[in-house]
Chains A and B, each alone.
Chain A
């Protein structure tokens, strides 16, 4: 049964605690406003906290994200709800919004959890680890990942056998299966949407063999393999645990492709693939890395130099359109492609293929609103009501958009966009106080 908790008031509701939502929340909180930051995941940090290093500087992503996440978590003006989603957002008059927060039970009292992992050790269940993108298992009682925030265990109730072993092992008695979903009705003065993006599902292009050929993985999976919090001791291919030595990247998977419903460029895939290629050459000095591309879009500051640096390190760039990928008995993959320069069909064997999947809009964001309509752009990202004069304004006065919720962008641009959204929200709060 769901509990109905009393109404609570905040100045701003920020939905999505990735780098954009986190930055917007911090800016608002540092200006003295009370912020409620909600994220549907068990940790704040969005996709950035899962990355290895960042282009073009090759700074460690976790080293940048962790201090920011801890600043957000400790800020007295920020209340964080993880495992929570907002709905029924309605504008009441000129100055106020009401919203409903649906908070799923974690079955662990986070304030008492010391993240000792004794529950994890005791839990007999093993299921696919969503935070390692299915490369490895995790327990039903689990700490989502080592740098998660809040750093506390959670129970995956769908896979839990309710054996009680975790409870018996927990030294602080903080596991609590009596927890129930909570509904919290709130009042806020402004809303920032920072719901981010979703990645294209490569199963939608069966000719690339993803899902069927286990040595075809996504760039997000490779991001995990090369991150300091990696699932394996080194880079291994999932078909048979071989250390790969002839790796291929296929760019624009699900981007710039009207046939799969996404005609636009994802803006980040060229650069994250070039980044990963460089990191792979560092981790596996004997490996050959080839990037199959249509065009390299190295448009940002330092990006062209980063591309040239990869070439200088020996990354092989082939201007080629991949037609089909097939698998040999030993797990190696044959890439059949059209060499764009010569127009000839070619074949090349690799022992691992990484699909650089594109950026898509998250669905269902407009449905969070009642009364006023949240406009979307023609690609279904959150519509910017005036992309030139006020890029973070939306079709609803008082609702702002930050980061990749409005379209593909990299981390620095997401932070800039969050700066813009929080400035607009602050200005709106001052005008409507």
Chain B
């Protein structure tokens, strides 16, 4: 079968009869966490611990996703506190 360049994902999706459930689940989870985090940061700059309290989410999970959002360019690192311990994070607008 001749498959048009630039449209091959559709070909594989049809061949496999859909998308693996785990991949769909991962995407859903990431999107919902990303949304929550970006909304929280819209209001104010926050540290990992403050964001964790605001979202009622474990600090290590917040840290992992927040660092990923920094990497992807949605969030940027702000200032460090007076004790040189915790950075705040802000939207990368």
Binding site for B on A (CB under 8 A): 121, 124-127, 135-140, 158-164, 166-168, 170, 173, 175-178, 214, 231-233, 236, 238-243, 245, 286, 331
Contact = CB atoms under 8 A, between A and B. Distances in A.
Contacts of B84: 243, 286
Given A239-B60, A241-B47, A125 B67 contact: no
B86 A242 contact: yes
Contacts of B13: 162
B12 A173 contact: no
Interface in B45-89: 47-49, 52, 59-60, 63-68, 70-73, 77, 80, 84-87
A124 B27 contact: yes
A241 B48 contact: yes
A173 B64 contact: no
A167 B6 contact: yes
A127 B19 contact: no
A244 B34 CA distance: 26
13 contacts: A124-B27, A125-B26, A136-B68, A137-B68, A138-B68, A160-B23, A162-B13, A177-B12, A233-B87, A241-B87, A242-B85, A243-B80, A243-B84
Contacts of B47: 241
Contacts of A137: 30, 64-65, 67-68, 71-72
B9 to A, nearest CB: 4
B60 A214 contact: yes
B30 A163 contact: no
B49 A125 contact: no
Nearest to B87: A241
Contacts of B87: 233, 236, 241, 243
Contacts of B71: 136-138, 231
A159 B26 CA distance: 8
B23 A231 contact: no
Interface in B20-51: 20, 22-24, 26-27, 30-31, 34, 47-49
A243 B85 contact: yes
Contacts of B9: 160, 162-164, 166-167, 177
B67 A232 contact: yes
Given A177-B11, A178-B11, A233-B77, A241 B3 contact: no
Interface secondary structure of B, over-half rule: helix
A366 to B, nearest CB: 33
A168 to B, nearest CB: 7
Interface of B: 3, 5-13, 16, 19-20, 22-24, 26-27, 30-31, 34, 47-49, 52, 59-60, 63-68, 70-73, 77, 80, 84-87
A164 B7 contact: yes
Contact of A173 (B6, B24, B68): B6
Contact of B23 (A159, A164, A286): A159
Contacts of A236: 63, 67, 87
Contacts of A159: 22-23, 26
Contacts of B16: 162
B11 to A, nearest CB: 6
Contacts of B59: 239-241, 331
Given A124-B30, A140-B23, A166-B9, 15 more contacts: A124-B31, A135-B64, A137-B71, A161-B24, A162-B10, A167-B7, A176-B8, A177-B9, A178-B8, A178-B11, A240-B52, A241-B49, A241-B86, A243-B80, A286-B84
Find the residue from A162, A166, A178 having the highest chain B CB count within 10 A: A162
> Which one of B16, B30, B31, B60 has the greatest number of beta carbons of chain A within 10 Å?
B60
A125 B30 CA distance: 7
Contacts of B8: 167, 175-178
B77 to A, nearest CB: 5
B37 to A, nearest CB: 12
B11 A231 contact: no
